[in-house]
Structure 1
Amino acid sequence: MHTTRKRRLVALTVAGAAAIALGAGPVLQGADPANAASGDVVWSQDFDGAAGSAPDRSAWTNETGGGGWGNNELEDYTDSRDNSALDGQGNLIITAKRGADGSYTSARLTTQGKYTPRYGRVEARIQIPRGQGIWPAFWMLGSDLPQVGWPNSGEVDVMENVGYEPATVHGTVHGPGYSGGQGITSSYQHPQGWSFADTFHTFAVDWKPGSITWSVDGVAYKTVTPADTGGNPWVFDKPFFIVLNLAVGGSWPGYPDGTTQFPQQMKIDYVRVIDNS
């Protein structure tokens, strides 16, 4: 994201940081990352399971806590099924709620220490929430985060939306010398000018050695290469982990107001990594 410093980053133990390209961890049945051909799905989370159950714990960890996450956010992230659960129809639902006392809860899920791809088409089919102060994101962080810190770890924001821009999504990279408000960023407008919250859309990056290309529903809208970093280090040729979260408030999106309705839900149909070599 292109805000001041974005999120409080929890340093978890990173097992498998030396994973091979396209990573380790749960894969689609029949797909072998070591023998994948271009176009093969090498990792997939389809969120099939009973309504109210947790997402696959071999793939996802719930990060918890509040404190603003570096962006003056309002939510407290929990591990409660009230905030993240399967819906029994093949979707993961991340729910942001407002309590009777005016506090907010939501969820943030990460594959840190469980799945760390290096390169591939990283995509998710998501129906985002809506409303002033609502901030859904699908993104990645370098798996060496605990060792080198942010922004040296690198960050790839595959999709972010701030509620006051219902027809716009953003794609950004952050690294040393181009972080926070200086992140290398671009945006994509809904071709009909409709709200992205109206239905599901597929958000993706095609990530290869020395390049990252963003797309929405198969339409590419931005490519970044080392030539775009202004001479600063390119930190994206290494394993990254995946993050899904739904924030409430913050310096960039602003804060909920009288028009914002709760609960709000971010619905994720699937997350996939596809060999694009």
Structure 2
Amino acid sequence: MIQNIKIFNMQTLIIGKVVLAGLLMACSGKADLKPIPKDPTVVETGPPTDKGWAFETNPVWADEFNTNGAPDPAKWGYDLGGTGWGNNELQNYTNSLSNASVNNGILTITARKENSGANAYTSARLVSKGKGDFLYGRIEIKAKIPSGRGTWPALWMLPTDNAYGTWPKSGEIDIMEHVGYDPTVIHVTVHTEAFNHSINTQKGVSKKFPKAFDEFQLYRLDWTPYAIRGYIENELIFEFINNGQGYAAWPFDKRFHLLMNVAVGGNWGGAQGVDDTIFPKSMEVDYVRVYKMIDK
């Protein structure tokens, strides 16, 4: 009797172990494994792939400056004032025809030595904000820049919405910059929170173009999710690649708009003083064309 009970108990134990083992094997089978749900609020980033994006051949936005008088108000507005613009600049920006006008197919932006409010110089700064805002694309600007110590002409881009915060968090793209005390040298630069001159990490390039004062030069920017590339006369001189490390390094996934101006003096433009005998001094612009990137 006792022996029979032991045999029964042993059989029950063996059956229980077999059942338990089967359950464990079933639960651990690969077919039953489920991935851990991902947190939808976590965005995984990494370096993008260069897909070799092309650009449309017809501009999506352009100004050929074919109508004499003031710049087209449907395409350009003005930044106004003489507050130094964060760089201790000396000019008062106006919307006067004496500072920005179109004639014979050319836009002329002129800096003048004349009192205006508390400032000793006037000039103009045209902006396409709200009238021409772009995310990626090819920008072409054909322009002739002024010479002379104290001039600081620029063709550049700023974020339309400041989605990541104020400068430099939301970025800046300088298609062309020049300072008059450094003749013939053109600068192409980007500014971000991680890469900017205030922390000595700025990304840019400088290159000599001796004819920049005498002839119109084609300044071009190719902007894709992978890189920003700067060209002068279709020669690639600058490349800034998206490292995939977020907006601090690459805030260039939001809308930007165009700016064109001639500043006077300032922290950089006036680093070697201003020669008052050179004025008036003008930057001439033949055309501005923006081509849409063909997505892939």
Structure 2: how far apart are the matches of 1:110 and 1:231?
24
User: CA separation in 2, counterparts of 1:229 and 1:106?
Assistant: 39
For residue 230 of structure 1, report the CA deviation from its aligned partner.
10
Compare 179-188 and 104-113 and name the one that shifted more: 179-188
Contact residue 210 and residue 236 of structure 1 kept, 8 A: no
CA distance in 2, matches of 1:228, 1:166: 36
Q: Does 1:153 align with 2:170?
A: yes
- TM alignment of 1:1-277, pairs within 5 A: 38-50=56-68, 53-87=69-103, 89-99=104-114, 103-145=120-162, 148-181=165-198, 182-190=201-209, 194-227=210-243, 232-254=248-270, 255-257=273-275, 260-277=277-294
Residues 4-55 of structure 1 show CA distances to partners (whole Å, capped at 9, x for unaligned) of: xxxxxxxxxxxxxxxxxxxxxxxxxxxxxxxx963222111011112xx111
Counterpart amino acid of 2:180? G
Q: Which residue does 1:3 correspond to in 2? A: none
Structure 1 regions of 5+ residues with no counterpart? 1-35
> For residues 209 and 37 of structure 1, do their structure 2 counterparts lie closer, same or farther at Cα, with a shift above 3 Å needed?
closer
d(CA) in 1 for partners of 2:213, 2:293: 28
Q: Residues of 2 paired with 1:209 and 1:249: CA distance?
A: 35
DSSP-derived class of the 2:243 partner: helix
Task: Report the secondary structure of 1:136's partner residue.
Answer: strand
In structure 2, what is the Cα distance between the partners aligned to 1:197 and 1:230?
A: 39
Quick one: distance in 1 between partners of 2:260 and 2:184?
A: 20
Indicate if the aligned counterparts of 1:210 and 1:237 stay in contact, CA closer than 8 A: no
SS at match of 1:198: coil
**Whole-angstrom distance in 2 between the partners of 1:104 and 1:132:** 14
Distance 1:37 1:163 in 2: 34
1:33 aligned partner? none
Deviation string 1:195-246 (CA, Å, 9 cap, x unpaired) is: 4111100101111112000000111111101239899431002210100010
C-alpha contact 2:176 2:186 (8 A) present in aligned 1: yes
TM-score for both structures, normalised by structure 2: 0.74
Number of equivalenced pairs: 235
Q: Call closer, same or farther: CA 1:56–1:100 in 2, change over 3 Å.
A: closer
**Structure 2: which 5+ runs fail to align?**
1-53
C-alpha RMSD of the superposition: 2.2
Contact 1:143 1:153 in 2 (8 A): no
Aligned-residue offset at 1:65: 0.2
- Structure that is richer in helix per residue: 2
**How far apart in 2 are the matches of 1:276 and 1:75?**
36
Residue identity in the other structure for 1:152: K
Task: Identify which range, 99-108 or 168-177, moves more after superposition.
Answer: 99-108
Q: How far does the alpha carbon of each residue in 1:113-156 deviate from its partner, in whole angstroms, 9 at most, with x for none?
A: 11101111111000101100100000001111387211122100
Computing the radius of gyration from Cα coordinates, the structure with the larger value is: 2
Separation in 2, partners of 1:214, 1:136: 17
The AA in structure 2 aligned to 1:98 is K
Question: Contact 2:188–2:205 at 8 Å: present in 1 too?
Answer: yes
Q: Quick one: structure 1 residues 224 and 54, their matched pair in 2 at CA, closer, same or farther if it must change by over 3 Å? A: same
